[in-house]
Amino acid sequence: MSVFILLNCKTFDEGTARNAIKLAEACRDVSESAGVNIAIAPQIPDIYRVASAVDVPVYSQHIDGAGPGSHTGKIYVKAILEAGAVGSLINHSERRMTLADIEAAAVVLKQNKMTSVICTNNIATTAAAAAIGPEYVAIEPPELIGSGIPVSKANPEIITGSVDAVKKINPNVKVLCGAGISKGEDLKAAIELGAVGVLLASGIVKAKDPKAALYDLVSLI
Ligand code: G3P
């Protein structure tokens, strides 16, 4: 199984513009030396900047299902593809979407051979997301996001429950978990619970030394 770590820059200053490049370089370096797949999701206006500067998989933080045409303000899949993104988060807890819009976003990503990561907040929404057939679902209890309390310790049942639900609905879908993850023991626990990796943000983006924090994250796998 190949472990996948996706670092979400959100709108942290430490992950914006030139800082996003520094974080992407840290992801690349740790990924190469630890042999773990580490990707970054900078803000959408930073995708081109990061993807052009650093050899690391770049994800969008959001995508709309809108096609070409009259859709002012929407994020069009071809724009992020041409900018250098390989995939996108869909329905992040801080950017919720309707079920119909989630499905439309996953469809346009698939049509463009890009990777979908559908975020969910409980086992029921994880099951619904798995039915759409993304590459990944990412279960993140909202109350633990940014808390520093790792979901893999505070709510292990939500991870095992999500893994079981996904297996029944579509065993090709892989499960990530997120919220409060920052240390090697958190990632190790997530994997032992059946996740293939983690979606995380503040513990790395806001760390004094993000590269050292990433090395710690991968130290036990
Ligand atoms: O997208 C990752 C996220 O919502 C978890 O945030 O800061 O708890 O790692 P954080």
Reported confidence tier of residue 2, pLDDT bands at 50, 70, 90: confident
**Percent of the chain whose predicted confidence (pLDDT) is above 90:** 99
Q: Is 127 helix (H, G, I), strand (E, B) or coil?
A: helix
Residue 69: Cβ within 10 Å count: 7
Which residue is closest in CA terms to ligand 1's atom 2?
A: 200
Which residue is closest in CA terms to ligand 1's atom 5?
A: 179
Q: Is 4 helix (H, G, I), strand (E, B) or coil?
A: strand
Reported confidence tier of residue 111, pLDDT bands at 50, 70, 90: very high
Determine whether the shortest distance from the Cβ of 200 to ligand 1 is under 6 A.
yes
**Percent of the chain whose predicted confidence (pLDDT) is above 70:** 100
pTM: 0.98
pLDDT at 178: 96
| Chain position carrying tokens 């994800």 | 59
Q: CATH code at 111?
A: 3.20.20.70
Neighbouring-strand partners of residue 12: none
Which residue is closest in CA terms to ligand 1's atom 3?
A: 200
CB 32 within 8 A of CB 219: no
Mean pLDDT to the nearest integer, 135-149: 96
Longest CA span, the chain? 49
Mean pLDDT to the nearest integer, 181-204: 97
In DSSP notation, 177-209 reads EESS--SHHHHHHHHHTT-SEEEE-HHHHTSSS
Ligand 1 centroid – CA 117 distance (Å): 14
Q: Is the pLDDT of residue 88 over 70?
A: yes
Task: Answer yes or no: 71 catalytic.
Answer: no
pLDDT at 143: 94
Tokens found for residue 9: 């820059």
Closest approach atom of ligand 1 to CA 202? 7
Determine whether the shortest distance from the Cβ of 199 to ligand 1 is under 6 A.
yes
Length of the chain, in residues: 221
Give burial (CB, 10 Å; 0-12/13-18/19+) of 11: exposed
Q: Which residues constitute the domain of residue 28?
A: 4-217
Q: Is the pLDDT of residue 67 over 80?
A: yes
Mean pLDDT to the nearest integer, 70-86: 98
Mean pLDDT to the nearest integer, 30-58: 97
Distance between CA 172 and CA 155 in Å, rounded? 24
Determine whether the shortest distance from the Cβ of 180 to ligand 1 is under 6 A.
yes
**Per the residue annotation, which of 25, 92, 103, 135 is the catalytic one?**
92
Task: Answer yes or no: 92 catalytic.
Answer: yes
Residue 31 φ/ψ, nearest 5 degrees: -60, -45
Tokens found for residue 124: 């029921």
Burial 95-117 (b: 16+ CB within 10 A, else e): eebeeebbbbbbebbbeeebbbb
| Count of domains observed in the chain | 1
Q: Out of 1-10, 34-43, 70-79, which region has the weakest mean confidence (pLDDT)?
A: 1-10
Q: Is the pLDDT of residue 1 over 80?
A: no
**DSSP count for the chain of H helices, then E strands:** 10, 8
Determine whether the shortest distance from the Cβ of 181 to ligand 1 is under 6 A.
yes
Ligand 1 centroid – CA 146 distance (Å): 6
Q: What CA dihedral angle connects 171, 67, 40 and 86, to 10 degrees?
A: 70
Test site for ligand 1: of 92, 200, 204, 206, most ligand atoms within 8 A of the Cβ: 200
Mean pLDDT to the nearest integer, 130-150: 96
Residue 86: Cβ within 10 Å count: 18
Reported confidence tier of residue 131, pLDDT bands at 50, 70, 90: very high
